[in-house]
Chain A
């Protein structure tokens, strides 16, 4: 190997930085959608590399369902303070009140679908023309076909049949007023790539990604944390288990995995050995139908 060879993580990193700078160069009011999960934390690290010593040319925006893990919220606030960047939070609870929306019912009453309303309102409030997100193509079949610059209409809808061709590393971010673009800089990363990058860059993560003891119930083989947001039935047995989270979404739609992995190396060994996909293992919301993600994306979801 010559001294001019790069590791695959270097290739992925440079590609992502290039995408970030295209956003900065092409849009007037971009935003970085930040959830407190490992993928959006990785985005922040990449943005630091793309723009320091300058400031980010966009704020961090969090659409807070009110069902988030407190550890993720605390991490969010601390991170924004540490890097000195602007953080905008909009609450799904407020949208529900303002728009008289119906709260979902049921055992795991998830506000996941309602997030879209708050997201679209927030886009309109700040006139965001580009929203950067941490979605990856390996997560799900519908995501595998989405562009890095994904144009959405004024209802936030994705039309898989009308996608723009995306050639070389040339990104076309031109839009008509009212449209906006969702930008996915880590499209080509896999779950394992993200973990390897977090290890290499020594990125701090919220504590729930590491093994901890927690009260959970076993719901059809998935371990769901006991919280104020889910309803326990008489038949539910509350268990105390050592768990960690492989993805971090709402407490209502994210399941934990049993684990003793207390550091990144252990987590990477577990993920390398695992036989279940990230979403299959930890997302209660994707199991609803074969095309669940495709449908949500068409409706404006990330």
Chain B
């Protein structure tokens, strides 16, 4: 059994909460006491049946306002897979929440209301999906019950969306007509949509191949912590603890430590307390090197024949996430995996309209803005292009005075 992380993009109006409620309900991940609790609340709403959307509203403020503010994580599993849903709000004022949820997703479900077709919000969610480089996209055309399960309506939306996907370079897009409210094509294929030849949504989620999304070609091992027991029997022990974020490491590999550039050879690899011949992404491990060189948290161990870029000048697509606006020339801490360095935003090249992809000039940026910037760091950063290796191309910006995370960087 493996693991799939996905994000649902859409708003309550598109039936997003109902869809998640339906997945949890039909996969029997909802328990009786939870159901009783929402049944009680549903009756207040004078609806005959239970309101599945109530399952996903977490905080009191959200229930009061009938909206989702923050990313909620939900879990369910089938005999084939464990699923982690990042349930992110869809409105433009919550772009940062969607970016957060999207950052770890293997797949995005983009919900379209069959009555409305491709709208501004659909484009925005697709643009964020493409910026964050989510490998798989499902376009769930919902509320098919309200358009008489019409194949023509579905076909027209597919034609429209294909344009969007093409312009954004989305590669793996799958279209599924559904009705979340009635469960059509969610778990079982619906006879009302007999003209649709693909699989049900759950069936697709269970079978979409995500193993190949893990990069095993470019070895990257950021050092998180150095283990040095300094006891009598282990006084020479010096293990570099971290996670293989991509690639494979083998005993005997010739490696380089960046940014220092010192080289050595892997003497030994420990995984869960056992010596092993190799480790691969995304395993956590301890590496031992032949030579006693200076390595500490924030360094990255890579293979000599596969080096990342190392520079102090970065081209970055940045999603601004703070209430206080970004000011050019301000200094922020930049954190990429375990490495933290001071940095300065040199200039804003343009602001990206997340609804239309239009670029405009800008000198500052506010909450939820997506901008292209040049960042200079105080010391060199080993990194890969985000579009090629998500694990080593994403960084956060931290305000040095408030310590808050203020930006998400996708490095070019």
Query: Which of the segments A62-70, A72-80, A109-117, A187-195 contacts the partner chain?
Result: A187-195
* Shortest Cβ gap from A299 to chain B (Å): 14
Q: Are B227 and A53 touching (Cβ within 8 A)?
A: yes
Do A187 and B272 have beta carbons less than 8 Å apart? no
The tally of CB-CB contacts under 8 A between chains A and B is 172
Contact mask for chain A residues 259-302; partner B; CB cutoff 8 A; 1 contact, 0 none = 00000000000000011110011000000001100100000000
Does B404 sit at the interface, judged by CB under 8 A? yes
A175 within 8 A of B: yes
The A147-176 residues at the B interface (CB cut-off 8 A) are 160-161, 163-170, 172, 174-176
Q: Taking the complex as formed, is A8 at the interface, i.e. its CB lies under 8 A from any CB of chain B?
A: yes
When A54-B228, A170-B337, A170-B394 are in contact, do A276 and B284 touch as well, CB less than 8 Å? no
Instruction: Pick from B2, B248, B390, B396: contact of A7, CB below 8 A.
Output: B2
Counting chain B CB atoms within 10 Å of each CB, which of A8, A25, A168, A290 scores highest? A168
Q: Are A276 and B32 in contact (CB under 8 A)?
A: yes
Is there contact, CB below 8 Å, between A18 and B59? no
- Select one of A14, A53, A137, A175 contacting B284, CB under 8 A: A14
Identify whether the interface residues of A are mostly helix, strand, loop, or mixed: loop
Report which of B84, B100, B216 forms a contact with A165, defined as CB distance below 8 A: B100
Give the CA-CA distance A275 to B31 in the complex, in Å: 5
Q: What interface size band does chain A fall in?
A: 35 or more
Q: Does B75 contact A (CB under 8 A)?
A: yes
B338 adjacent to A168 (CB under 8 Å): no
- Please report the C-alpha to C-alpha distance between residue A54 and residue B240 in the assembled complex, in whole angstroms: 12
Q: Is the CB of B282 within 8 A of A6?
A: yes
B interface, size bucket: 35 or more
Contact A172 B70 (CB under 8 A): no
Q: Is B297's beta carbon under 8 Å from chain A?
A: yes
Report whether A22 and B2 are in contact in the complex, using a CB–CB cutoff of 8 Å.
no
Q: Are A22 and B100 CB-contacts (below 8 A) given A5-B2, A6-B2?
A: no
Question: What's the least CB distance linking B200 to chain A, in Å?
Answer: 22
On whether A168 and B273 interact (CB within 8 A), knowing A7-B2, A144-B73, the answer reads no
By the criterion CB–CB under 8 Å, are A188 and B297 in contact?
no
Q: Report Cα–Cα, A280/B36, bound state, in Å.
A: 11
- A161: chain B residues at CB < 8 Å are 61, 69-70
Closest-by-CB residue of A relative to B2 is: A8
Smallest CB separation, A169 vs chain B (Å):
7
A1 at the interface (CB under 8 A from B): yes
Residues of the A chain whose Cβ atoms lie less than 8 Å from the Cβ of B70? 145, 160-161, 163
Any chain A CB within 8 A of the CB of B387?
A: no
Given A275-B32, A276-B31, A280-B34, answer yes or no on A2-B338 (Cβ-Cβ < 8 Å).
Answer: no
* Per-position 1/0 for B67-96, Cβ under 8 A of A: 001111111010001101000000000001
Query: Which residues of chain B have C-beta atoms less than 8 A from A4's C-beta?
Result: 214, 216, 248, 280
User: CB-defined interface of A38-53 with B at 8 Å, one 1/0 digit per residue?
Assistant: 0000000000111111
Residue B293 at the chain A interface, CB threshold 8 Å: no
Q: A4-B216, A49-B273, A280-B34 are in contact. Are A169 and B284 (CB under 8 A)?
A: no
Q: How far is the CA of A21 from the CA of B75 in the complex (A)?
A: 25
**Are B73 and A8 touching (Cβ within 8 A)?**
no
Interface string of B211-228 (1 = CB under 8 A from A): 100101000000011011
> How many Å lie between the Cα of A176 and that of B245 in the bound state?
30
CB distance from A247 to the nearest CB of B (A): 14
Is A138 in contact with B75, judged by CB distance below 8 angstroms? yes
A142 touches B59 (CB 8 A): yes
List, in ascending order, chain B residues with CB within 8 A of A248's CB.
Answer: none
* Complex-state Cα separation, A57 to B283, whole angstroms: 21
Task: Note all chain B residues with C-beta closer than 8 A to A55.
Answer: 229
> Taking the complex as formed, is B375 at the interface, i.e. its CB lies under 8 A from any CB of chain A?
no
| Alpha-carbon gap, A53 to B229, bound state (A) | 7
Q: Flag whether B143 is at the interface (Cβ < 8 A).
A: no
Q: Report B332-362 residues with CB < 8 Å from chain A CB.
A: 333, 335-338
Query: Shortest distance in angstroms between B99's beta carbon and chain A's nearest beta carbon?
Result: 7
Contact B3 A8 (CB under 8 A): yes
Q: Mostly helix, strand, loop or mixed at chain B's interface?
A: mixed
Contact B337 A21 (CB under 8 A): no
The contact string, 1 if C-beta is below 8 Å from chain A, for chain B 98-112, is 011001100000000
Pair A172/B396 contact, Cβ less than 8 Å: yes
Q: Tell yes or no: B1 within 8 A of A by CB.
A: yes
Q: Does B302 contact A (CB under 8 A)?
A: no
B103 touches A168 (CB 8 A): yes
A207-B163 Cα distance, complex, nearest whole Å: 61
- Asked if A294 and B60 make an inter-chain contact with CB atoms under 8 angstroms apart, the answer reads yes
**Contact (A50, B100) CB under 8 Å given A7-B1, A18-B284, A276-B31:** no
Q: Is the CB of B37 within 8 A of A165?
A: no
Q: Are A174 and B284 within 8 A (Cβ)?
A: no
Q: In the assembled complex, which residues on chain B have CB atoms less than 8 Å from the CB atom of A166?
A: 100, 405
A54 and B338 form a contact (CB under 8 A): no
- Taking A14-B282, A170-B394, A188-B84 as contacts, is the C-beta distance between A281 and B33 under 8 angstroms? yes
- In angstroms, how far is the closest chain A Cβ from the Cβ of B331? 14
List residues 378-397 of chain B with CB under 8 A from any CB of chain A: 390-391, 394-396
Asked if B159 is an interface residue, CB under 8 A from chain A, the answer is: no
| B33 and A167 form a contact (CB under 8 A) | no
On whether A280 and B31 interact (CB within 8 A), knowing A53-B229, A54-B227, A172-B403, the answer reads yes
In the complex, what distance in Å separates the CA atom of A14 from the CA atom of B271? 10
Partner of A51, one of B211, B227, B391: B227
Instruction: List B contacts of A5 (CB < 8 A).
Output: 2, 211
Interface hub of B99, B225, B297, B396 (most chain A Cβ within 10 A): B225
Contacts A6-B282, A169-B104 given; indicate if A21 touches B61 (C-beta within 8 A).
no
CA distance A51 to B224 in the complex (A): 11
Closest to A170 in B: B396
Q: Is the CB of B243 within 8 A of A188?
A: no
CB distance from A27 to the nearest CB of B (A): 11
Shortest Cβ distance from residue B270 to the other chain A in the assembled complex, whole angstroms: 9
| Contact residues in B for A255 (Cβ distance below 8 Å) | none
A135 adjacent to chain B (CB < 8 Å)? no
Q: Which 7 A-B pairs have the closest CB atoms?
A: A280-B33, A277-B31, A174-B403, A17-B284, A21-B224, A54-B227, A141-B58
A sample of 6 inter-chain contacts (CB < 8 A) reads: A18-B284, A25-B225, A51-B227, A53-B237, A170-B335, A290-B60
Additional A-B contact list (7), CB under 8 Å, known A24-B225, A144-B74: A8-B2, A11-B2, A13-B284, A21-B242, A142-B58, A168-B396, A276-B33
